[in-house]
Amino acid sequence: MANIQEVAKKAGVSVATVSRVLNNHSSVSTRTRLRVESAIKELNYEPSMLGRNLRNSESRLLLVLIPSIANPFYTEIINGIQNTAISHQYNILLCETDSNPKRENIFFNMVKNKLADGIISMDPAVNKQKLTELADNHSIILCSEYDEEGSIPYVSIDSELAAYHAVKHLIQLGNKKIALINSDEKFLYARQRRQGYERALKEYSLPIREEWIYHTTQLDFQDGVHAMRMLLRLEEKPSAVFAVSDTLAIGALKEIKAIGLRVPHDIAVVGFDNIGFSNMTNPSLTTISQPMYKMGSTAATMLIHHIQNRKVESTILDHELIIRESTMG
Amino acid sequence: MANIQEVAKKAGVSVATVSRVLNNHSSVSTRTRLRVESAIKELNYEPSMLGRNLRNSESRLLLVLIPSIANPFYTEIINGIQNTAISHQYNILLCETDSNPKRENIFFNMVKNKLADGIISMDPAVNKQKLTELADNHSIILCSEYDEEGSIPYVSIDSELAAYHAVKHLIQLGNKKIALINSDEKFLYARQRRQGYERALKEYSLPIREEWIYHTTQLDFQDGVHAMRMLLRLEEKPSAVFAVSDTLAIGALKEIKAIGLRVPHDIAVVGFDNIGFSNMTNPSLTTISQPMYKMGSTAATMLIHHIQNRKVESTILDHELIIRESTMG
DNA sequence: TTGAAAGCGCTAACAT
DNA sequence: ATGTTAGCGCTTTCAA
């Protein structure tokens, strides 16, 4: 790869002039500009981002941290981030952390080292302390999962209210024995969704029974299958299930079928996220729809504003209950 | 962020010595090393990748190009890439191209500019010419989709044979009217899978009917739904369907159910990829399993070898037919 | 064992 | 309108 020196030499100008042409400075004469441009073409020259970044302390690269690309929930969010970033001449790089602190650290370093200009974190298991430290001097936005007391700006939904709506829907259909398939309550969203679940039950004077609350370690289909299997082994079986993720709900659906029960006739199921697949299951899945695209584009806008030292405010977006066959057969 | 100068000053040594400590040179005395190390700790110093890369022409970053993260097919491949990369002290960055040449170009530039050390491309729509040019001076590996005549090393499966196996399975179950839901035949894998489909039909003297071959533009569930709808409107309906992607097959399943037919009783369905979902559908999906993890880890190993100027050879891995309820109810 | 200094590719302040 | 040059943070050669 040719460098700026060679271009300058070939065009018979200084490197400064080449740089000016590269950056569209108005002070270059047309004649010179043309000469430089043709030299660039001839040498097939492309400026080095490395040199440029080192000089400018800017990379126009944004990092997006996700725990795992296996969860389709992130797909549409990333779409929103990507389109917004591109419209502002930024590019995004997806970083799968597997919720592994070591791996996270590498991406944090990329920002510290000016290899990227900012981070949108969607990893609920992210090391909050390290992230907060980093946020002191760098641009960080949390998306979906956030920290209530923390100082880092976020965009999310009202998980408590959404869960309340989901469970209320089940109650209004006549269900009195409603189970919860939750994930680990070390995550804020899990705690909030449980609160919403409990609020709805209390409001209708239904008992909260610990045995009807199952915690999974992950969000894979298999975790849903297993959770449902456990719930169905109880002496007093629930007549409805609210799962905090569509992937879990789909696993639950599978297991209910597997032992010969019918959805929603025997057991009604509500999920959370409205992933694409939730409409492909049989029966199709009632679920809470998060405004994923909007969440992504909002997060990206916030991050870019933050990089530009503009003020950003945390945002809570609206959710929606999507009623399908798994509750209204 | 402190830089190497400040560390040198604080430790009372030269920047060269700090650099030596950073890079574990043996020529530093223990006394000095300790002094430098404590200065590093005190200042919370971390070396700048930018400066280092500029000097070393190495980033230890690998780019993975995928058309869209929405297709779960890539999930397990990426897992394989990631684990292998990490075990060699490389990190990967996922780049979603949306099969958009402009976006691709940005990632190509990252490699040209030494911001990344190599690329694994899984985008079937990638600009082959540009990629081949880039491969002249840089490390590129193709994964899954490849170029038969091209010079770029690849890892893939034998799509023609896999499709042949899938269709043969349907024939052996007694099906005589077998439809194909294919994607755009500008992609090599689509052409190969069609060839396998035709070979199986010919072998059993079954007619190849153009109206039973449907081409989709994308690989979303909805494309499968639509394809199936079209096939079911034919006067002479197929009794079995082979879809070249599980996402398409799952959409087809949905549509077959929607008009009240049963799988596999009325119509049998075979997919391709063995994505996680394929075991969660009702009925579960018979499909061709690609060794996705292995494919990913092989691609990563090949890329790293290429970066190290070792010889790499293209590889074809084995597939497997996974028989489930959608053909053996 | 350590230090001084050049240089990776670029931009911008200053000079002309 | 254009050129000269310092310097971004680091590694490595050469010298001591």
The b-or-e profile of B261-270 (16+ CB within 10 A means b, else e) is: eebbeebbbb
The integer distance in angstroms from the CA atom of B276 to the C1' atom of C5 is: 58
- Asked whether the beta carbons of A221 and A252 are under 8 A apart, the reply is no
Distance CA B183, CA B186 (A): 9
Q: Count contacts between A and B (CB, < 8 Å).
A: 115
Q: What is the pLDDT of residue A102?
A: 81
Would you tell me which residues 146-175 of chain A have a C-beta closer than 8 angstroms to some C-beta of chain B? none
Distance CA B55, CA B76 (A): 35
By CA distance, what is B58's nearest residue in A?
A50
Q: What is the pLDDT of residue B226?
A: 98
The confidence band for B52, taking pLDDT boundaries of 50, 70 and 90, is: confident
Q: What is the pLDDT of residue A147?
A: 92
- Asked whether the beta carbons of B178 and B238 are under 8 A apart, the reply is yes
Mean pLDDT of chain B: 94
A49 touches strand D (CB under 7 A): no
pTM assigned to the model: 0.89
**Across the interface, do A282 and B257 touch by the CB < 8 Å criterion?**
yes
B106 pLDDT above the threshold of 90: no
The integer distance in angstroms from the CA atom of A27 to the C1' atom of C16 is: 15
Residue-wise pLDDT tens digits, A242-288: 999 999 999 999 999 999 999 999 999 999 999 999 999 999 999 99
Residue-wise pLDDT tens digits, B289-298: 999 999 999 9
**Helix or strand (DSSP H, E) at A257:** helix A246-258
Q: What is the pLDDT of residue A46?
A: 86
Residue-wise pLDDT tens digits, B314-328: 999 999 999 999 999
Q: What is the pLDDT of residue A212?
A: 97
A58 touches strand C (CB under 7 A): no
Residue-wise pLDDT tens digits, B264-295: 999 999 999 999 999 999 999 999 999 999 99
| Interchain contact A218–B (C-beta under 8 A) | no
B179 pLDDT above the threshold of 80: yes
B50 pLDDT above the threshold of 90: no
Closest residue by Cα to residue A327 from A204, A240, A228: A240
Tokens 């490197």 correspond to A15
Which nucleotides in chain D have some atom under 7 angstroms from a protein Cβ? 1-5, 7-13
Residue-wise pLDDT tens digits, B297-310: 999 999 999 998 89
Can you spell out the DSSP letters for A152-193?
S-EEEE-HHHHHHHHHHHHHHTT---EEEEE--TTSHHHHHH
Of B53, B254, B279, the CB nearest to A50: B53
A48 pLDDT above the threshold of 90: no
Mean pLDDT of chain A: 94
Residue-wise pLDDT tens digits, A181-217: 999 999 999 999 999 999 999 999 999 999 999 999 9
The b-or-e profile of A139-152 (16+ CB within 10 A means b, else e) is: bbbbbbbbeeeeeb
Q: What is the pLDDT of residue B89?
A: 82
| Interchain contact A72–B (C-beta under 8 A) | yes
Minimal C-alpha gap between B230 and chain A (Å): 18
The confidence band for B60, taking pLDDT boundaries of 50, 70 and 90, is: confident
All residues at 6 or more sequence positions from A100 whose CB lies less than 8 Å from its CB, including other chains = none
Which neighbouring-strand residues pair with B154?
A: B142
**Across the interface, do A115 and B115 touch by the CB < 8 Å criterion?**
yes
Q: How many residues does chain A have?
A: 329
A327 pLDDT above the threshold of 80: yes
The confidence band for B56, taking pLDDT boundaries of 50, 70 and 90, is: confident
| Residues of A with Cβ-Cβ distance to B280 under 8 angstroms | 221, 250-251, 253-254, 281
Residue-wise pLDDT tens digits, B127-167: 999 999 899 889 999 999 999 889 999 999 999 999 999 99
Q: Residue range B105-112: average pLDDT?
A: 87
Q: Residue range B98-117: average pLDDT?
A: 86
| Interchain contact A230–B (C-beta under 8 A) | no
B188 pLDDT above the threshold of 90: yes
A329 pLDDT above the threshold of 80: no
Higher per-residue confidence, A280 vs A103:
A280
The confidence band for B110, taking pLDDT boundaries of 50, 70 and 90, is: confident
A109 pLDDT above the threshold of 90: no
B58 touches strand D (CB under 7 A): no
Distance CA B98, CA B324 (A): 32
Of B69, B114, B281, the CB nearest to A78: B69
| Interchain contact B46–A (C-beta under 8 A) | yes
- Asked whether the beta carbons of B319 and B157 are under 8 A apart, the reply is yes
Of A98, A113, A279, the CB nearest to B49: A113
B213 pLDDT above the threshold of 90: yes
Q: Residue range A23-37: average pLDDT?
A: 93
Between the alpha carbon of residue A218 and those of residues A224, A254, B76, B231, the distances in Å are 9, 17, 16, 39
Tokens 């072998």 correspond to B203
The confidence band for B260, taking pLDDT boundaries of 50, 70 and 90, is: very high
Q: Residue range B87-97: average pLDDT?
A: 90
B1 pLDDT above the threshold of 90: no
The confidence band for A79, taking pLDDT boundaries of 50, 70 and 90, is: very high
Q: What is the pLDDT of residue A106?
A: 84
A1 pLDDT above the threshold of 80: no
B81 pLDDT above the threshold of 90: yes
The confidence band for A101, taking pLDDT boundaries of 50, 70 and 90, is: confident
Q: What is the pLDDT of residue A228?
A: 98
All residues at 6 or more sequence positions from B305 whose CB lies less than 8 Å from its CB, including other chains = B311, B312
In percent, how much of chain B has pLDDT > 70?
100
Of B69, B277, B282, the CB nearest to A257: B282
Q: What is the pLDDT of residue B48?
A: 87
B57 pLDDT above the threshold of 80: no
Between the alpha carbon of residue A81 and those of residues A119, B218, B327, the distances in Å are 11, 22, 40
The confidence band for B55, taking pLDDT boundaries of 50, 70 and 90, is: confident
A87 touches strand C (CB under 7 A): no
A216 touches strand D (CB under 7 A): no
Q: Residue range B241-260: average pLDDT?
A: 97
The confidence band for B100, taking pLDDT boundaries of 50, 70 and 90, is: confident
Higher per-residue confidence, A58 vs B314:
B314
B85 pLDDT above the threshold of 80: yes
**Across the interface, do B46 and A112 touch by the CB < 8 Å criterion?**
yes
A221 pLDDT above the threshold of 90: yes
Distance CA B181, CA A96 (A): 32
Would you tell me which residues 97-116 of chain A have a C-beta closer than 8 angstroms to some C-beta of chain B? 98, 103, 106, 109-110, 112-115
The confidence band for A137, taking pLDDT boundaries of 50, 70 and 90, is: confident
Distance CA A211, CA A209 (A): 5
